[in-house]
Structure 1
Amino acid sequence: MSSRKVDLVAVMDHPPRVRALQRVLGAVDDDIDPVVDLWRPYLDGLDNLPPDGRFLLVGNHTQGGAEALLIPYAVRREIGVRVRPLADRQFGQMRGLPGDLLAAFGGVVGAPETARELMRHDETVLVFPGGGREIPKFKGEEYTLRWQGRSGFARIAVETGYPIIPVGLVGGDDVYRSLTPRDSAWGRFSQALSSRFGGRDDMAIPLMRGIGPTLIPRPERMYLRFGTPIDTSTPLGIDTTDWVEEVKRRTQTALEQILDDLLSLRETDPYRGLSPLAWSRAARP
């Protein structure tokens, strides 16, 4: 893993168009609380957030993408710090308006050296170890973590002594319904296309639908939970490589348990479809 130094000021020194977007997003941020309250997401575990903001959030990606907005929002609202999301290289290097919006939102390319520098400055960092490949879900893959070979987040957290907060979101994989499994004819064809034009077959796109046969997102309540902090300090007498794998295992186990618990909670929540008639009986933390 590279140890190349990164100038954080240079990384965050954006061109005027991005700074303009930052001002717009800041103004929206100040007035967004009533809008989110109307949406009424289920927010739990906020008392697990260290008030100094020095922690690494490790979450799951969903097809709806609500986690990328709701996690930073909830942290800012609770302890008043700005979250720095680490973007998959493929997304972090986007050009034009999408790339400008990502930068204005505080996102940076998820390179190890950038993460180290953010942590050296005690920034609050958010990472999705599955990266972009965890977003498109084929039938039967909802709320599963695709972390194969991804342990960099644990390695850097151990190096810097950063505590890890697992954070899980349920609801985002249900705004669209995948129609075919990965091993179907469409799945194989989509993987071949992804490999041919993108150089990687793990970005294959499933056949999906939202409301009815359309791609209009289904109304779904979002359920977000912040887990108990995981201490990454290396115990005496334990090999660092082994400890990194153990931290990764503990984080993945904790996040999978959060997702299982939220899925069970949602099963009995009459407000899961955002029906206003069921609000009075909605599940609350």
Structure 2
Amino acid sequence: MASSVKSFGLSPNFAFTIDKRVHSRYQIRCLASRDSAAALSSDSVKINGAVNGISTSVKEDSKRAASIDLGNGHVSSNVEEERKLEPLWDDGYGTQTVKDYLNYAKDIINPDGGPARWFTPISCGPHLRGSPILLFLPGMDGLGLGLILHHKSLGKVFDVRCMHIPVQDRTPFEGLVEFVEETVRAEHSSSPNKPIYLVGDSFGGCLALAVAARNPKIDLVVILTNPATSFGRSQLQPLLPLLEALPDELHATVPYLLSFVMGDPMKMATVDINTMLPPTRYFEQLAANLTAMLPRLSGLADIIPKETLLWKLKLLKYAAAYANSRLHAIKAEVLVLASGKDNMIPSQDEAWRLLGSLQNCKVRYFKDNGHTILLEDGVNLLTIIKGTCTYRRSRYRDYVMDFIPPSASEFKQALEGNGWFRNYVGPVMLSTGEDGEIVRGLGGVPNEGPVLLVGYHMLMGLELVPLVEEFLRVKKVMVRGIAHPSLFSPLIEAENKEFSFLDYLKLYGALPVGASNLFKLCKTKSHVLLYPGGAREALHKKGEEYKLFWPDQPEFVRMAARFGATIVPFGVIGEDDIAELVLDYDDLMKVPIWGDRIRSDNKKYESFNVRSGMSGEIANQPLFIPGLLPKIPGRLYYLFGRPIETKGKEEMLKDREKARELYLQIKSQVESNMSYLLKKRNEDPYKNVLDRTFYRAIRAPMDQVPTFEP
């Protein structure tokens, strides 16, 4: 082992080692010291034959960034050229598992005499230019490997650095806080307009909150996963005297038993299993994963030996008290992820306590996960960050420029989760070419933006999910939906705080309505989904199905003309065959208690009324949940009309009358599209869900079930 390690000494207080085995997987990218030091020597180390050398340099602020010489005269800076991620990009989720965590842990638990340090996993890959920094603060293990399932996805949009606390390190809590704080202040000094992300897992949550409390003027985004601030109420507290008295020969069983308290082995073992496999194949792979993983859990005795376990438990107790006493000073944006099956600490209750104690806090609750939530299946950290609108590259969130399109794994999860709805409504997509011919599919809709899809907003937005999914599946085009601003307010979050449909809307591109957002979307040549009727259409009353409630002013036409956008009017029908509206707004307002609640809620939403100041029905946009009665479903039908080019029609920017004429033409085409579909759907032999199900069972997948002839 000694021959595989090259040591570099900077000062008595600063040293680190390069291990050939470790750094075939992990790249030291940032190391911090409490004192300034001379530049590191240029010695090179052979690493698995793949990398010829590591060179490091030291800045005045004592940050040290390593670059990798690829042996061909080029240097990898770990930063990609400035570009955007394409829809359905590969985020690598599921390619690394808990087995990798346990295997890699063996490489970095060996004592090296060094203090805490930062490292960047090579699997994080090069991040996009301008990405914010993300500092991962580990849990009780101290390894810094707790993000291993998320390295590839987070590494694309963050400059990821993981904190490693050696097994034998006995730095007190204040010393660890100062270590993180030095890096935070140095990064803020070099990029004062960029946020700094602190992801604190369990014990790391206390560390993140302590740093945030001590640095209220720095723009921090703190993400806590089952934070150990509730350690005072932990089930482990009474075990401390017993662990101290436990004979050394029996200690090897303690970490093994703790592994079942801290996490759910079943969820750890299913991370890389395709849920679409047949049941027999699925359980075969699950059994194989468990068989491979469980023996490795004995290695936890080396990760957390007895003396280290006792030290960490005492450190946890102090850290929780330290962080809790300073919650009032925290100004940072905080997102808490809490597990419902945490057998180590009361994470659910703690999340609700932090929600009430912190000034700017959101909670997402995962009822089926254990304490080590980041190592378990079903929790993709980047998905949660995106769905809660927590990702940003500057001090203020930009819903257009900060948007990260759905990855392949996220889309796969959506297809699996929404499969029942697609089968239920059997969507039919039709489009119109330049020659006016109607064909099945989306061939008539331009691939190149900017494109404005302008149409009818069906009851409760029933048309949204199939529409966005089809554009992604067939064209790999991300359709950005302009949504009611209340959807982005904490006032409308789900009461149970679970990752909800509203989060998925944001994940798949929804952004608040506004001229600035539409301007940016057109400028970036996006596909934009517009509903001029807004909430008034989506929450219409009885007898108003397929009736347009559009404002008098052509709100989007002049913007489209400014950028030469293509406008595609579309109609959609089928809500009357999917569900029956039994309680509309007028009915609900007559219910004493329920009506009062709707009035009270809508007073909170008054500031979000984008039609305020207008007259007529369009100005009346109360928000409520109507009473619906499901039917044996028919089918949803979409018809995208002939594209309308605005390129070369810049005169409409000045001539309001011409803009209004085009606006009325678009509205008329939406209505004629719906009239066409209402007539033609009666010719569909597979309109009924039972007929479609039978056809799919013996002949073809859902998207190939026939319909009427256009």
SS at match of 1:125: strand
- The farther-off stretch of 264-273 and 220-229 is 264-273
* C-alpha distance in structure 2 between counterparts of 1:20 and 1:100, whole Å: 5
Structure 1 position 283 matched with structure 2 position 708:
yes
Instruction: Give the Å deviation of 1:225.
Output: 1.0
In the TM superposition, what are the counterparts of 1:166-205 in structure 2 within 5 Å? 166-179=569-582, 193=599, 198-199=605-606, 201-203=620-622
* C-alpha distance in structure 1 between counterparts of 2:651 and 2:557, whole Å: 18
In the TM superposition, what are the counterparts of 1:211-250 in structure 2 within 5 Å? 211=630, 218-233=632-647, 235=649, 239-250=654-665
* C-alpha distance in structure 2 between counterparts of 1:38 and 1:284, whole Å: 22
Instruction: Give the Å deviation of 1:172.
Output: 2.6
Partner of residue 484 from structure 2, selected from 79, 88, 103 = 88
Structure 1 position 69 matched with structure 2 position 465:
yes
* C-alpha distance in structure 1 between counterparts of 2:627 and 2:418, whole Å: 31
Q: Is the 8 A contact 1:56 1:163 kept in 2?
A: yes
Q: Residue type of the partner of 1:41? A: P
Q: Is the 8 A contact 1:137 1:206 kept in 2?
A: no
| CA shift in 2, pair 1:267/1:30, >3 Å | closer
* C-alpha distance in structure 2 between counterparts of 1:139 and 1:33, whole Å: 28
- The farther-off stretch of 105-114 and 68-77 is 68-77
Q: Residue type of the partner of 2:451? A: F
| CA shift in 2, pair 1:233/1:70, >3 Å | same
Partner of residue 28 from structure 1, selected from 393, 399, 413 = 413
Question: Which structure's relative contact order is higher, taking Cα pairs within 8 Å and 6+ residues apart?
Answer: 1
* C-alpha distance in structure 1 between counterparts of 2:516 and 2:651, whole Å: 27
Partner of residue 668 from structure 2, selected from 253, 263, 276 = 253
> 2:507: which partner in 1?
104
| CA shift in 2, pair 1:150/1:92, >3 Å | farther
* C-alpha distance in structure 2 between counterparts of 1:252 and 1:188, whole Å: 34
Q: Is the 8 A contact 1:157 1:232 kept in 2?
A: yes
Instruction: Give the Å deviation of 1:32.
Output: 8.6
Instruction: Give the Å deviation of 1:177.
Output: 1.8
| 5+ residue gaps, structure 2 | 1-83, 85-129, 132-156, 159-220, 222-381, 389-405, 432-441, 610-619, 696-704
| CA shift in 2, pair 1:178/1:242, >3 Å | same
Q: Is the 8 A contact 1:178 1:209 kept in 2?
A: yes
| CA shift in 2, pair 1:147/1:51, >3 Å | same
Instruction: Give the Å deviation of 1:129.
Output: 1.2
Q: Residue type of the partner of 2:428? A: Y
| CA shift in 2, pair 1:175/1:198, >3 Å | farther
In the TM superposition, what are the counterparts of 1:23-172 in structure 2 within 5 Å? 23=407, 25-28=410-413, 36=422, 40-45=426-431, 46-93=442-489, 95=493, 97-98=499-500, 99-149=502-552, 151-172=554-575
Identical counterparts, % of pairs = 23
Q: Is the 8 A contact 2:386 2:506 kept in 1?
A: no
| CA shift in 2, pair 1:54/1:79, >3 Å | farther
* C-alpha distance in structure 2 between counterparts of 1:284 and 1:34, whole Å: 25
| CA shift in 2, pair 1:107/1:34, >3 Å | closer
Q: CA RMSD, aligned part only? A: 3.8
* C-alpha distance in structure 2 between counterparts of 1:127 and 1:74, whole Å: 17
Instruction: Give the Å deviation of 1:162.
Output: 0.7
Q: Deviations over 1:39-82 (max 9, x none)?
A: 64221112221122431111211115232112222223333211
Q: Residue type of the partner of 1:80? A: K
Q: TM-score, length-normalised on structure 2?
A: 0.34
Q: Is the 8 A contact 1:140 1:181 kept in 2?
A: no
> 2:689: which partner in 1?
274
- The farther-off stretch of 232-241 and 135-144 is 232-241
Q: Residue type of the partner of 2:476? A: G
| CA shift in 2, pair 1:68/1:235, >3 Å | same
| 5+ residue gaps, structure 1 | 1-7, 212-216
Q: TM-score, length-normalised on structure 1?
A: 0.77
* C-alpha distance in structure 1 between counterparts of 2:577 and 2:534, whole Å: 19
Q: How many residues align?
A: 270
Q: Which is helix-richer, 1 or 2? A: 1
| CA shift in 2, pair 1:153/1:42, >3 Å | same
- The farther-off stretch of 253-262 and 75-84 is 75-84
Q: Is the 8 A contact 2:428 2:636 kept in 1?
A: yes
